[in-house]
Amino acid sequence: MTPQDTSGPQPVSSRRVLTGLGVSGGIAIGRAFVVDRQFVHVPRHRLENDDINAEIAALHQAVASSIEHLHRLKNQSGARDSAASEELGFLLDAYIHMLTQSRLVRGAEERIRDQNMNAVWAVSDVIEDITGQFEAIDDRYLAARASDIRDVGLRLMRNLTGETDRAFDTAPRGAILVAEEVSPADMARLEPGQIASFVTAIGGAEGHAAIMARSLGLPAVLGATGIIGGVSGGEMMIVDGTRGEVILRPDAADLDRYRQRRDDWLAVRQKLLRLRDVPSETSDGVTLDLHANIELPVEVAGALANGATGIGLLRSEFMFMNKRYLPGEDEQYRELADIVTQMGGKPVTIRTLDIGGEKLALSLQEEMGTGPNPALGLRGVRLSLRRRDLLETQLAAILRASLLGPVRVLIPMVVSIHEMIRVRQVYNAVAKRLRQDGHGIPDMLPPLGAMIEIPAAALTIDALARECEFFAIGTNDLTQYTLAIDRSDDQVADLYDPLHPAVLRLIHEAVTVAGRHDIPISVCGEMAGDPRYTSLFIGFGLRNLSMSPVNLLPVKQRLRKIDLRTAADHAGRVMEQWDSARIAMMLDDFNDLA
Ligand code: PEP
Ligand code: MG
């Protein structure tokens, strides 16, 4: 099967403009590479009788996810008024129908129950069976239905395995990737420089695919209604990641205009680079640490090129998500050592595994299971404490890497002091074991800190202060969990509001209490990289912000125009507000004047 999607509704051939969420700035002009996710690895094994019910439950869970996914695509297609949209709507209805009490699902269930096949094998087997029968009949209509069944089955298998396609690997250099959805794991597997940009039908602005697009400096538009079926592989397109616009089959005037915009954008970036080595200080001389958030060793160069004075957040889970196997201590050590060495004495904050939610690793699939609500399930420190072997291996690799430069260890998704106490016990035990084995590790262990990204942690930060040597506020999850808005869901993206007074009060409270306990605190969520919020954070008392490398210089530019007294006064007034729209206006006004 080829990765280029040639099935489904054919695109119209005239120029078209789509809009979506511009999640990563910049302009890309290139040819579409349409991914239809046709590759699924099918592990096959016979189940123990005791495991059959759980496997059937997993099948039904995957069916439910597939149906939900199709409904979302259908809602999007309904918003369009073309004939192609109607056609797509019918097709998606047919797909949904195939998943509701169909021969496909019944057949898979029977194979699990009667032949002890694991679920993905059962689905693959039943698809072969049905499509084989259809294809044996010489009928074009049935042949097309066979391909539909295959498509639905693949969707189901992907949901079962958590495996996303590897068709991305074959994207020609400079292509613009077009896909229904790009998962964080897809992003982790991308070769740097391989694609110029990407556009998806599904995805929220604060999800990890968006975050990685910013880290890698790839212009990206997510939630672009109409992209599926709207363009064929090889056609020209333009992506404006700043405005959230996608132009399919641009005309000559579009190309001229956007080439000019791209040049302007690059000129602005180039000018910003002059700020790389100037101090990050306010107009009245208050210094801030501007650190970078990265996921993989290849991003260190970009962080340094943008003047990062440290890594404030290394999302170590991405070094698990780009592999099919679980990396051992030595392999983890080598990757961490590479990052610490490249940073040449600048501090590196390494966060332990935050697998779970939308971040999935093939090697931990069985461990994670399919909970009904992954964002509230086994994620971050919860998994690390459940699978102590994972935590021990990771801490050992971090401790060994800490000999090469200053390191801090950050624990994600903490809600209580008990978690930190248990992590510290493991940390001390690992250090002891390493010393006994003759590994020279520092006498003073690297500081251990907690992410403040769940309201419970922000509200009890005074308790956490007893066990933590530093804090990092994760505004992405803090906003998600405070407002009950899934950060990766484009359907509620307009409701995701980090300026909601509840979120601001939690941040403010956390910073104030940490200050009272004399414990360093930073912000490392996406808010830290938005220059609109810089004055507010300075006013709150923050002196360390960590962000996608691409945002470092715009934030530095802003903070150099701000003085502490004015920022603190203004932040005080902002905290008296109850309406986030009013807060946004106040910040805009302040920034216009500063
Ligand atoms: C956050 O939640 O703000 C954060 C920095 O962590 P992540 O985005 O990886 O969940
Ligand atoms: Mg988080």
pLDDT of residue 6: 38
Pick from 2, 326, 42: nearest CA to 160: 42
Query: Which of 132-146, 236-250, 416-430 is predicted least confidently?
Result: 132-146
Q: 5 pLDDT exceeds 50?
A: no
Distance 412 CA to ligand 2 centre (A): 7
**450-507: pLDDT as tens digits:** 999 999 999 999 999 999 999 999 999 999 999 999 888 888 888 999 999 999 999 9
Residue 551 beta carbon below 6 angstroms from any ligand 1 atom: no
Distance 530 CA to ligand 1 centre (A): 15
The one catalytic residue in 208, 500, 508, 570 is 208
What is the average pLDDT across 515-540?
97
Confidence of residue 40 (pLDDT cuts 50, 70, 90): low
pLDDT of residue 98: 81
Residue 525 beta carbon below 6 angstroms from any ligand 1 atom: yes
- Three-class DSSP category at 278: coil
The one catalytic residue in 69, 468, 500, 524 is 524
- CA of 473, closest atom in ligand 1: 3
**In whole angstroms, what is the distance from residue 426 CA to residue 443 CA?**
17
Name the range with the highest mean pLDDT among 8-12, 215-219, 577-581: 577-581
Q: What is the strand order of the sheet 21-24 is part of?
A: 16-19, 245-248, 236-240, 27-34, 175-179, 195-200, 220-222, 21-24
Question: Any idea what DSSP says for residue 300?
Answer: H
Residue nearest to atom 3 of ligand 1 (CA): 474
Query: Which of 53-57, 154-158, 405-409, 518-522 is predicted least confidently?
Result: 154-158
Give the length of the chain. Answer: 594
Token look-up 């969707």 returns: 155
Token look-up 């790389």 returns: 276
Residue 354 beta carbon below 6 angstroms from any ligand 1 atom: yes
Residue nearest to atom 8 of ligand 1 (CA): 476
Residue 480 beta carbon below 6 angstroms from any ligand 1 atom: no
Distance 157 CA to ligand 2 centre (A): 28
Residue 204 beta carbon below 6 angstroms from any ligand 1 atom: no
Confidence of residue 150 (pLDDT cuts 50, 70, 90): confident
Active site annotation includes 468: no
Distance 470 CA to ligand 1 centre (A): 16
Confidence of residue 110 (pLDDT cuts 50, 70, 90): very high
Pick from 349, 386, 345, 347: nearest CA to 366: 386
Residue 474 beta carbon below 6 angstroms from any ligand 1 atom: yes
**In whole angstroms, what is the distance from residue 468 CA to residue 447 CA?**
8
In sequence order, the 6+-apart residues with CB closer than 8 A to the CB of 106 are: none
Q: Provide DSSP, 13-82.
A: -S-EEEE-EEEE-SEEEEEEEEB----------BPPGGGHHHHHHHHHHHHHHHHHHHHHHHHHHHT--S
If one compares 461 and 321, the residue with the highest pLDDT of the two is 461
Active site annotation includes 208: yes
**368-395: pLDDT as tens digits:** 655 678 889 889 999 999 999 999 999 9
